[in-house]
Amino acid sequence: MKYLLFFVLSMSASLLQAAELPAPQGDVILTVSGNIAHTNGNGVARFDRAMLQDLQQGSITTATPWFEGTHDFSGPLGAALLDAVGAQGATLRVVALNDYAATVPASDLRDLNVVLATHLDGHLMSVRDKGPLFLIYPFDDNPDLFDEVYFGRSVWQIAKIDVGD
């Protein structure tokens, strides 16, 4: 009987953990699906701007191939997003509004301090300016990242992330 009670309590805790993200109150900017433990909708984690702002933020000042000069990109840390959804997989399929997609190792977000930029030089990024989310690497901090491989992973106008195995 004790084991049955323990099993039931364990399952209840797992179900609560899987649904611990609040529902978005504003327009959904990002939907995360796949191998995730924390959801707020039918197997997905949906984020509005306020929810993204509540995640641990980071800032990267760097030059990129897409903008002239050096700029400040800020927004939620990639690792904070992975933690928020309880990402379990090793790869991410990052998809833009225009359906461009890139495969990004989850380790990039965890180990390279990647930012999902929502702001460019302190201003909210619009779709016209590669927003609402732009995956930015710290190119100036690590010259090895200033390479076509990482440029291809730097998806802008991100709408969806699917966490693979």
Nearest residue to 120 via CA among 77, 59, 161: 59
pLDDT for the residue numbered 54: 97
- Nearby residues of 65 by Cβ (< 8 Å), 6 or more positions away: 151
Domain with 100, as residue range(s), is 2-163
Residues 52 and 24: their CA atoms lie apart, in Å, by 10
**Polymer length in residues for the chain:** 165
- Measure the CA angle with vertex 50, ends 18 and 44; round to 5°: 30
Predicted TM-score of the model (pTM): 0.87
Nearest residue to 114 via CA among 46, 165, 55, 162: 55
Q: Answer yes or no: are the C-beta atoms of 116 and 101 closer than 8 Å.
A: no
pLDDT for the residue numbered 13: 40
pLDDT for the residue numbered 8: 38
Residue 22: which CATH number?
3.90.420.10
The number of distinct structural domains making up the chain is 1
Each residue's pLDDT expressed in tens, for the chain with a length of 165 residues: 444 333 433 443 444 444 489 999 999 999 999 999 999 999 999 999 999 999 999 999 999 999 999 999 999 999 999 999 999 999 999 999 999 999 999 999 999 999 999 999 999 999 999 999 999 999 999 999 999 999 999 999 999 999 998
DSSP string covering 1-47, please? -HHHHHHHHHHHHHHHHHT-SPPPSS-EEEEEEES-S--SBTTBEEE
Owner of token pair 């990129």? 64
Whether omega for the bond prior to residue 105 falls within 30 degrees of 0, making it cis, is: no
